[in-house]
Copies of this chain bind each other. A is one copy, B any other.
Amino acid sequence: MLSNLSAQGGEVGRAPLPTIWWLGPIAAVIALFFAWRFYRQVMSKSEGTERMTEIAQAIREGAQAYLSRQYRVVAIVFAILFLIFLILSLLNLQNPIVPVAFLTGGFFSALCGYIGMKTATNASARTAHAAITSLNGGLQVALRAGAVMGLVVVGFALLDITAWFLILYYLAPAVITSSSSAFGFLVTGNPLVQITATMLSFGMGASTFALFARVGGGIFTKAADVGADLVGKVEAGIPEDDPRNPATVADNVGDNVGDVAGMGADLYESYAGSILATSALGVAAVAAGSATLFAGSSPSLAEMMDLQLRYLAAPIAVAAIGVLLSIVGVYLVRADENASQAQLISALGRGLYGSSIGIAILSLPILFILDLSNMWAIWISILAGLFVGVIIGKSTEYYTSHAYNPTQSIAEQASTSSATSLIEGLAVGMESTGAPVVAIVIGIAVSFYVMGGVTNVAMGLYGVGIAAVGMLSTLGFTLATDAYGPIADNAGGNAEMAGLGPEVRQRTDQLDAVGNTTAAIGKGFAIGSAALTSLALLAAYLEEIRLGLTLHGAAEELPIIEGRALAEWTMYDFMDHFQVNMLNPAVLIGVFLGSATAFYFSSMTMRAVGRAAGDMVEEVRRQFRETPGILEGTVRPDYARCVEISTVGAQREMIKPSVLAILMPVLVGVLFGVAGVLGLLTGGLTAGFALAVMMANSGGAWDNAKKYIEDGRYGGKGSPAHKAAVIGDTVGDPFKDTSGPSLNILIKLMSMVSIVFAALIVAINNGQGLVNLIFGG
């Protein structure tokens, strides 16, 4: 069938795909196969006692109820956006493929979240049960369950990308025969620039879904957590995860819908976005730099497309290798029956660093086979990306682990008062923005300049893009260690509620603590790749603008810049034409608004947690008051009511911030044009990045400062220092698990919205915006 298509494609002048490109779909299938295999392995274990199954069932039902409700709300949003895109494409303001592709991106993102959540909720009781006999048993169940999530994310992303490419490159041209239709570009001589630019906008579906999953899940989990802690721990004085606390089940459900489903959707989008953006930049870079790349001779169409396809294949092949290494990584993790904490960390670290080193080594033959003239520079870019990820991860660990000075100083300040501990925690978070930004800056500079960005901007940005791809290539494994954390956490909850022996709880706590460290590194990769990908998306946005201007028929009105018409404009030609420079107030206005959007968005998500937690506090108090038997342990509390409250709260609260994220780029674009949009994205990216790092690290540090005190320092549990630290931890909850991670998506979604609405924006005053239209005369 495919060779058939290939032949047909050949008839309309299609250069064949490099053989190595096919690693992409193959790796996708392998990833999905192993995900299925790991899922079967997890499900083959016993859930343990009747009580354990019962608790797990309650959490499963709660999570299921939440997700089905969330998916219903999101479905309405998707229906509305689909309609808007449809109308825009009928008005010739949108590529007609986008509405359909938008749905597939959202669908796969949602599917990843669903499968991840389903596996996680099935795995926690099984992890607790396995931990009864051994630590390694628990580790294996939890990690394999996490790996299901990791592998479906990378598998579906690669599948979606490669399938769409095959359709647009081979199948569609074979069906469409006229170049005058809306799909005309597919049958032109070299459609690669347009195909890759169009495919970029497919990310919008994934990021829209990810926003709702992250924001909704983040609100759910923290409303339950804060509510459970404030009434249960502080007021009633019962321990964490105590079955008498009505919000306990909701708290555990929250871990699954926020940390698992939300994170999976988030990283699906980063992963797909980095590959799509890099492919698009590779194709554009070859077009822009053909003089150098073909050593002065004018390439034929076939030669040109052949080279473009090889640059396009590089990120896909690197990602494919990463998938295989991730699977190997899962098998590498093993712990002795009585492994210490340090051994556990080194076991997971072996997988993490092993797969990263694997990418560093194996990407070299890939690049060699692709026979790219600047293969060494590309390789250095990939290394730069890995370096950024490791530095951000290590910095996160330094600032949030109680093995180091910053978190210890927060604990020390807690012994003075909660106020000084809070001041110190905020200061630690702000300080912790320094190292990641410097790492990002070095990563950008190295990958851009080593790729010769000074002479070919698109090629330089291709370097930045492939750095992001390199960093994310082992996502299958890093995501497994990320999802493993909440599973271990839930296993601990299950052990506590089911009344298993203290040694089981101790084992699950040990697994959980390791999860915190790996999660820190995983978060580093997530935010770092978001920053690099966003930069690549800025450039890719311009290809979208070119497409939009062409579609809009503005090509003839636009100036010829140094002999280049719109179709040949370089990236800097766009900058000159739209005056996307620092003295254009439209740009500065955009940067200002982008920065404020990050702050305003964070405020919305923080308050949403506050409001939803307030409802939860009242409900838990009501149950304790109206049913005294609950605290005596004779009556089972109404868990479902608490799940319901978090669910309703999350649905209600996730709408406004999401609308802000979608509206801002459109509004700024309509008023201030392309220049304003690029300013907005830059401001949102830079301020949002710093704010996200600050919130994540302040929150993490407060959490671990509390644990540090609980280990017996400054008076231990119940001391004034501990009470002070608990306040810090509670303030940190929405910081690190709602607002911080949501900013990640805000940044990416604003880029995606800009890309998707590019054609609309250029239709207004040729992309110069309404304000310019009014005052330009």
Contact = CB atoms under 8 A, between A and B. Distances in A.
A679 B582 contact: yes
A210 B726 CA distance: 39
A581 interface: yes
A539 interface: yes
Contacts of A610: 413, 420, 423-424, 427
A291 interface: no
Contact of A775 (B450, B457, B585, B596): B450
Contacts of A453: 585, 775
Contact of A599 (B430, B576, B579, B585): B430
A606 interface: yes
A381 to B, nearest CB: 12
A655 to B, nearest CB: 17
B417 A234 contact: yes
A775 B595 contact: no
Interface in A416-433: 416-420, 422-424, 426-431, 433
Contact of A444 (B542, B585, B606): B585
Contacts of A775: 449-450, 452-454
Contacts of A460: 585
Most chain B CB neighbours (cut-off 10 Å) among A454, A592, A613, A776? A592
A617 B423 contact: no
Most chain B CB neighbours (cut-off 10 Å) among A226, A417, A453? A417
Interface residues of A, number: 93
A581 B582 CA distance: 6
B431 A600 contact: yes
Interface string A742-777: 000000000000000000000000000001101110
Interface string A669-708: 0000000001100110011011000100000000000000
Nearest to A668: B441
Interface in A398-425: 413, 416-420, 422-424
B607 A427 contact: yes
A596 B436 CA distance: 9
A154 interface: no
A145 B591 CA distance: 41
A683 B679 CA distance: 11
A153 to B, nearest CB: 28
Contacts of A587: 582
Interface string A48-60: 0000000000000
Given A591-B683, A598-B690, 13 more contacts: A420-B614, A423-B610, A430-B599, A433-B600, A437-B595, A448-B585, A449-B775, A453-B585, A461-B585, A538-B588, A581-B582, A599-B690, A727-B727
10 contacts: A419-B727, A420-B613, A423-B607, A426-B606, A434-B596, A438-B593, A542-B583, A574-B583, A592-B686, A599-B690
Interface of A: 226, 230, 234, 413, 416-420, 422-424, 426-431, 433-434, 437-438, 440-441, 444-445, 448-450, 452-454, 457, 460-461, 464, 535, 538-539, 542, 571-572, 574-576, 579-585, 587-589, 591-596, 598-600, 602-604, 606-607, 609-610, 613-614, 617, 678-679, 682-683, 686-687, 689-690, 694, 726-727, 730-731, 734, 771-772, 774-776
